[in-house]
Amino acid sequence: MNSSMVIGQYVPGDSPVHHMDPRAKITIIFFFVIVVFFANSVASYGALALFALLSVGVTKIPPRFIAKGLKPVWFLIIFTFILHLVVTKEGNVLFSVLGFDVYSGALIQGVAISLRFFLLILITSLLTLTTTPIAITDAIESILHPLKRIKFPVHELALMMSISLRFIPTLMQETEKISKAQASRGVDFRTGPIKERLKAIVPLLVPLFVSAFKRAEELAMAMEARGYQGGEGRTKLRELALRKIDYMVLVLFTFVIIAVFLTRA
């Protein structure tokens, strides 16, 4: 397992979450993203956090692997927290740091927004960690199937979304490899004036774009060689079907939603 980036990466496993119908997982994540914005109390955030952490535990994926893979977003979470401490001026002054007064309202809001951001990233990452790109494509196509009546290209949209998710870790690995190669040639990305660092990024972006277009061309040629002509008339090797575990998790998540709304401040 490559832990440099978990978003878009699939980790094979035999957990109940891996065996769930991808449509059930997408439905849960969709409503989780909505409900998390309604949470505004310790109890409501606690219910969502408990559900997310239990989901991580059931997947049997090492938490350390997930935490290390989320390193690229830790900076955004910490920056969001610090930004609220500096900008928000609500409540009582708790203490001062470097001439800035930190208010109680700023601390509460900073923790809430940062926790909300963390939960969103964590729960959405579980989809790609426990679901293959093909299963995600089939699930999205199944959910959006009614739109075919208005000639909406459902299969093509699902395929593009699946390929995009699949290539996120690939492009991140490619970026890391190119940056190390450039650094070994004396290119410095971390020190010096901002203008010089921006110039240093150009040798990184050019080969990255070339590599991305090359991979896209190779994928298109491979699909064409296999006779791919879109979703019309295609059959499925495995038909999606909701099972007992899917209904149980959906019912459990329904109780979580009810708990969030009942415990709102």
pLDDT (0 to 100) of residue 232 = 65
pLDDT (0 to 100) of residue 192 = 67
pLDDT (0 to 100) of residue 103 = 80
pLDDT (0 to 100) of residue 233 = 64
Spatial distance between the Cα atoms of 37 and 25, rounded to a whole number of angstroms? 19
The residues of the chain scoring below 70 in pLDDT are 1-8, 188-190, 192, 230-237
Global pTM reads: 0.76
Q: How many CB atoms lie within 10 A of CB 180?
A: 9
- Residue 185 CB burial class (10 angstroms; 0-12, 13-18, ≥19): exposed
Spatial distance between the Cα atoms of 205 and 200, rounded to a whole number of angstroms? 9
Spatial distance between the Cα atoms of 102 and 86, rounded to a whole number of angstroms? 7
**Cα angle: 55, vertex 60, 62; to 5 degrees:** 100
Q: Where are the domains of the chain?
A: 16-131+241-262, 153-225
Dihedral sign computed on CA atoms, order 27, 30, 31, 36 = positive
Instruction: Pull the structure tokens for residue 80.
Output: 């969001």
Q: Of all helices (H) and strands (E), which one includes residue 102?
A: strand 100-103
pLDDT tens-place string over residues 229-245: 766 666 666 778 889 99
pLDDT (0 to 100) of residue 71 = 76
Spatial distance between the Cα atoms of 162 and 53, rounded to a whole number of angstroms? 25
CA 224 to chain centre: 30
